[in-house]
C-alpha cells in the first residue's frame, strides 16, 4: 500500500515541528540556566533576541499545524486528494520549513509573506474537499 503524498507531507510537517521545538528550546537554554529549566519554573525567566523569535516561530507553528493536519486527514479520508491538495500541502510544508529561519534572522516582511503562503496552502487543502 502506497501512502498518499499528502500524508507524507503531514509527516514532514511533524518533523519540522520537532526540529523547531528542539531549536527553540536549545536557544532558550543558552539564556536560561539549567537549574531553572529542570525545576518547577514557578518564576518566569524571559528570553530575548533570536531565542525569543524562535519561541514565537514555534508557537506560531503550533497554531497552524492542527489546521493543516485536520485538513490533510479530511481530504485523504474523503478520497479527495489530487493536485490541489498535493500542491497546497507542499506549499504549507515548504513555507513552514522556511518560516523559523526567516523569523530567527529578523527578516522584514518576508516572514509575513511566508506565513501567508503557508496559510494559502492550508486553504488549498481545504478547498480540495469541496472540488468535485
Render the chain in DSSP notation, one character per residue: -PPPHHHHHHHHHHHHHHHHHHHHHHHHHHHS-HHHHHS---S-----HHHHHHHHHHHHHHHHHHHHHHHHHHHHHTT--SHHHHHHHHHHHHHHHHHHHHHHHT-TTHHHHHHHHHHHHHHHHHHHHH--
Average pLDDT of the chain to the nearest whole number = 94
Question: Any idea which architecture 5-130 has in CATH?
Answer: Up-down Bundle (1.20)
Tell me the pLDDT of the chain (132 aa) as tens digits. Answer: 678 999 999 999 999 999 999 999 999 998 887 777 777 877 888 899 999 999 999 999 999 999 999 999 999 999 999 999 999 999 999 999 999 999 999 998 999 999 999 999 999 999 999 996
Q: pTM of the predicted model, to two decimals?
A: 0.93
The per-residue pLDDT for 130 is 95
Amino acid at each position: 500500500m502506497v501512502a498518499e503524498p499528502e500524508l507524507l507531507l503531514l509527516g514532514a510537517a511533524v518533523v519540522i515541528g520537532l526540529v523547531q521545538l528542539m531549536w527553540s528550546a536549545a536557544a532558550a537554554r543558552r539564556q536560561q540556566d539549567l537549574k531553572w529549566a529542570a525545576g518547577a519554573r514557578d518564576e518566569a525567566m524571559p528570553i530575548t533576541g533570536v531565542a525569543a523569535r524562535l519561541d514565537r516561530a514555534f508557537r506560531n507553528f503550533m497554531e497552524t499545524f492542527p489546521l493543516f493536519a485536520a485538513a490533510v486527514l479530511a481530504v485523504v479520508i474523503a478520497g479527495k486528494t489530487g493536485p490541489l491538495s498535493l500542491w497546497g500541502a507542499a506549499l504549507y510544508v515548504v513555507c513552514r520549513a522556511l518560516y523559523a529561519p526567516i523569523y530567527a534572522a529578523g527578516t522584514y516582511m518576508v516572514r509575513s509573506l511566508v506565513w501567508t503562503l503557508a496559510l494559502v496552502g492550508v486553504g488549498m487543502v481545504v478547498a480540495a474537499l469541496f472540488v468535485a
